[in-house]
Structure 1
Amino acid sequence: MPFLEQNDMRQVGREYARNLGTTPDEALRRVARDRLDHYDVFLSQTIRDAEIVLGVYAVLTGLRYAVFCDWVEAPSANREDVTPANAEFIRDTMRICDTLLFLDTAHADQSLWMSWELGWFDGAKGLVAVLPVLPDGTRYYRGREFLGLYPYVELTEDGRLKIMRPVVAGPNGIMIFEAPNSRPFDSWRKHPDDPLRPRTPGYSIRRF
């Protein structure tokens, strides 16, 4: 399957929580560990998707990525309050992360934090990609609003992450298919000048 799917991620999250003898949202708080000096991935997400978030966290850490997920790394923080102190903590953490993956779900557009995190990371580092979790059997990712500026993540046949370039339309409406269209996630995140970095203004993005 090319995308992470909602039911699969919920099932992974439930099994992870079941092994801990608790619920998915509580499991996200209980697996906290000492803060690292560096993270491969900052996972931008909303606790409204606790089962999905836990499933995605399990998948990414299973691929041996160091992942910052605030419900795991900072379970005592009150993310319901948007305060300067909370924002400074998140900003300090993003500074020690290589990439940001924006977990796009049905609830993502309800999160004030996620939009702020994406904007800050894009301006500071640029290595931003969208990680969609879609209904089962979905063949294409249809981006929305500003998310269309960013490459997105699919899975390879062996379950690794790859970065996909969005299909774009030039000012005259002609579709532009550029090469390379995809790249292994590890190569993309380690090379800041990679051609699949987020696009500059001047093109509109269309998904099919």
Structure 2
Amino acid sequence: MALFTEQQLINRVSRQQITGLAGYDMSRKAQVLLSKTRNFQNTPQGRLKSYDIFLSHSTNDAQKVAGLKLLLEDMGYSVYVDWIEDPQLDRTNVTKDTAAVLRGRMHTCRSLFYAFSEHSGGSKWMPWELGYFDGIKQMAAVLPIRAGSTASDSFQGTEYLGLYHYITVGDDTTGRRGLWVRESVTKYIVYEEWLKSSQPIQR
């Protein structure tokens, strides 16, 4: 089991095959790939869709978030990313209307992952999203994005982030790739069991 790495996320976007986009840079690929979901979101079914994960993140990490969303979906999880599912929102300004949409979406998500990176400390929305979701569902965790490509399963949250479990990726006993919720390197539980209110187990 290991933390997600920046290189892993960038690689996932770059290897995505999109017809007619050979030779385009990864940023353009990410925009085209992820914009495909937007038409669906304008339907009644799209507005009422529920998700496994609300991905709280910095807009400065858009490319890495695109890769993270793809990797999580590869594992079978549904992921809400506001600028993909609700492109009409303006995250650059804190408004009551944007907050109302995000609150509504959070109520339809089973858990929240706080995508911790070098940019997350400058986000206007991430602390609010984390606090709100923790208050309504108590199913929030930090998903660290490790710089570079070096694997590690250790994370020390700073300040209030140290109060939360953190997420790693790895195979379970059947060889299935999935998510693990950790309190420490030696205390963890599979994501699906955590959703049932089980707590990490000392190994």
Please indicate the TM-score interval, normalised by the length of the shorter structure: 0.7 to 0.9
How many residue pairs get matched? 182
The 1:188/1:85 distance shift into structure 2, 3 A limit, reads: same
| TM-score (norm: length of structure 1) | 0.79
The 2-side partners of 1:17 and 1:120 are apart by 37
Q: TM-score, normalised by structure 2?
A: 0.81
8 Å CA contact 1:101–1:130 kept in 2: the answer is yes
- Give the drift of 1:11: 1.7
Deviates more, 1:24-33 or 1:132-141: 24-33
Q: Which residue of 1 aligns with 2:181?
A: 163
Aligned pairs (5 A) from 1:10-29 = 10-16=10-16, 21=21, 22-25=28-31, 27-29=33-35
Query: Match of 1:137?
Result: 150
Instruction: Report the Cα offset of residue 18 of structure 1.
Output: 5.6
1:46-195 maps to which residues of 2 (within 5 A)?
46-135=58-147, 136-139=149-152, 140-157=154-171, 158=175, 159-166=177-184, 181-189=187-195, 191-192=196-197, 194-195=198-199
Higher relative contact order (CA 8 A, sep 6+): 2
Gaps of 5+ in 2: 22-27
AA aligned to 1:155 is V
Mapped to 1, the partners of 2:167 and 2:135 lie a distance apart of 20
Structure 1 residues not aligned, in runs of 5+: 168-176, 197-208
1:17 shift after superposition: 7.9
- Do 1:3 and 1:134's aligned partners in 2 also have CA atoms closer than 8 Å? yes
1:87-108 Cα distance to aligned partner (Å, 9 max, x none): 0000011011110011111111
Aligned-pair identity (%): 29
The answer for the alignment partner of 1:7 in structure 2 is 7
Other structure's SS at 1:92 match: helix
SS in 2 for 1:100: strand
Paired with 1:86 and 1:17, the residues of 2 have a C-alpha distance of 33
Rate the CA distance shift 1:48–1:20 in 2: closer, same or farther, 3 A: farther
Query: Is the contact between residue 102 and residue 128 of structure 1 (CA under 8 Å) also seen in structure 2?
Result: yes
The CA deviation string for residues 12-42 of structure 1, in whole angstroms up to 9 with x for no partner, is 1233386673343454444323324311111
Say what the alpha-carbon RMSD is for the aligned residues: 2.1
Q: Is the CA contact (8 Å cut-off) linking 1:9 and 1:55 kept in structure 2?
A: yes
For the residues of structure 2 that align with 1:130 and 1:69, how far apart are their CA atoms?
16
